[in-house]
């Protein structure tokens, strides 16, 4: 009987340690300092592991992409619209982030429910070089539960959401750019 109880106790401890390891693997990869920095910029950092929803789309230049194409890079998913004044306020900062990150950070701007024609007209007036998606059928918007604009999700190189910002932000702040770029080296 004592052997049986010892066996059961060992089995429970072994199984429990396996579960603890599994939970550790699925925690959000952010230090306390990272959380403080994100909070300073009013970016919500999740405590539980949330994998970014995968999607396929066509960029405004005609290139077909999938979110997984950017595995190994930080992705800034920015939901916006041409009529959204706060969205337009942060777009120059997104452009600066895109240009200054040395290819380590990808900005994907997803237009909410607008036609390609309307976006092209907008881009003739405003010259942004980061990739733009016309989510005319709002499938990506629905995947991410977007209700307000702008909303931005930060996705780490492994496809895990590490932050969400509702409203405009200064994405070109050096400290924030360095944090995003550092996610590459911390995941390798």
| Domain extent listing, the chain | 1-27, 31-186
Residue-wise DSSP of 23-73: HHHTB----HHHHHHHHHTT-B--SB--BPPP-EEEBTTS-EEEGGGGTTS
Output the pTM of the full model.
0.83
- Residue 167 DSSP code: S
Neighbouring CB atoms inside 10 A of 110's CB total: 24
| pLDDT at position 4 | 40
pLDDT in tens, 126-155: 999 999 999 999 999 999 999 999 999 999
| Spatial CA neighbour of 79 closest among 68, 71, 87, 67 | 87
The CATH superfamily assigned to 31-186 is Glutaredoxin (3.40.30.10)
pLDDT in tens, 43-88: 999 988 899 999 999 999 999 999 999 999 999 999 999 999 999 9
Phi/psi at 152 (nearest 5 deg)?
-130, 135
Q: Residue 127 in 3-state DSSP?
A: coil
């Amino acid at each position: 009987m004592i052997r049986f109880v010892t066996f059961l106790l060992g089995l429970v401890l072994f199984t429990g340690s396996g579960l603890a390891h599994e939970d550790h693997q699925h925690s959000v990869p952010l230090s306390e300092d990272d959380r403080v920095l994100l909070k300073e910029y009013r970016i919500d950092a999740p405590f539980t592991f949330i994998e970014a929803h995968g999607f396929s789309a066509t960029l405004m230049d005609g290139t077909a992409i999938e979110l997984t194409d950017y595995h190994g890079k930080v992705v800034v998913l920015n939901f916006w619209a041409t009529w959204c004044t706060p969205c337009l306020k942060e777009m120059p900062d997104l452009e600066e982030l895109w240009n200054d990150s040395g290819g380590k950070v990808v900005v994907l701007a997803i237009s909410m429910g607008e036609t390609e024609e309307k976006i092209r007209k907008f881009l003739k007036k405003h010259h942004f070089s980061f990739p733009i998606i016309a989510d005319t059928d709002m499938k990506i918007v629905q995947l991410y539960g977007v209700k307000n604009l702008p909303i931005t999700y930060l996705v780490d190189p492994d496809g895990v959401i590490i932050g969400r910002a509702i409203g405009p932000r200064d994405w070109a702040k050096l400290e924030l750019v360095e944090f995003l770029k550092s996610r590459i080296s911390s995941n390798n």
